[in-house]
Amino acid sequence: MMRRVGAAFSALLALSGVWGCGPGPVAPHKTEVVIPAEAPQPDKSDQVRLKEGLTGRDLSPSEVADLSDRLLADGSNTFNDQETMARLELLLLKTIKSSDSDKTHRPTLWRNLGILHYHQEKYKQARQELQAANELNPKNAHTHFYLACLFAHQGVIYEKQGKKRISRQQFKRAAIEMEQARKLAPNNALYKKDPKQVIQQENGK
């Protein structure tokens, strides 16, 4: 009889989460400290923060700017993840719409939305957003770099269509933007490339 009671008690403990994941029982006063739900979470992944920003607590413009900077950093895996791109697009649009008075972070939010749309091949939107970012903060090298890429991309299109004069104009604008990026960030090797070369590398040529 005592064995049955002991077994039942053990089962109740297991259901209530008092037993640990190791080979033996853990004392109740110790397990309460290590329950995952109660543990501090200072290092949440950016993916979790992204989901939070859409479905949980509202992230501040500063948090969204920092999060999107990390997710859209050069060489990021985000550009190969359509789901993450779509979520980030929604979060950026939501934040821009709700932070009309936030002048500090709006240039970054517009720039990152433009970068995202550039990689989604929504070039018209990307150009409008990057130009908006540039008007608010003309001293951001990354904005000028992506504007250079956009003009070079347009130049390639016109070149293929045989519109040489317009193509040259676009490449000239691309060169001006890239030169501005170099002046603002002279140590960035990416900005030392020719804009047309960057576009060709993107296209795998």
Asked whether residue 192 is domain-assigned, the answer is yes
Which CATH number does the domain housing residue 100 bear?
Answer: 1.25.40.10
- In the chain, what is the greatest distance between 2 CA atoms, to the nearest angstrom? 96
Contact 65, 27 (CB under 8 A): no
Q: Is residue 44 part of a domain?
A: no
pTM: 0.74
Name the residue among 80, 106, 190 with its Cα closest to residue 142.
190
DSSP output for 100-112: TT-TTTHHHHHHH
The number of beta carbons lying within 10 Å of the beta carbon of residue 29 is 7
Q: Would the pLDDT of 130 be above 80?
A: yes
- Give domain status of residue 37, yes or no: no
Lowest-confidence region among 17-21, 107-111, 141-145, 153-157: 17-21
Q: Round to whole Å and give the CA distance between 25 and 151.
A: 66
Q: Containing domain of residue 123, as a range?
A: 61-202
Residue 146 within any structural domain of the chain: yes
In a domain, 167, yes or no: yes
Is there a domain that residue 39 lies in?
Answer: no
| Number of structural domains found in the chain | 1
19-72: pLDDT as tens digits: 334 334 434 433 333 333 333 333 458 888 898 888 877 899 999 999 999 999
What is the predicted pLDDT for the residue at 98? 85
pLDDT of 96-120, one tens digit each? 988 665 788 999 999 999 999 999 9
More confident residue, 72 or 201: 72
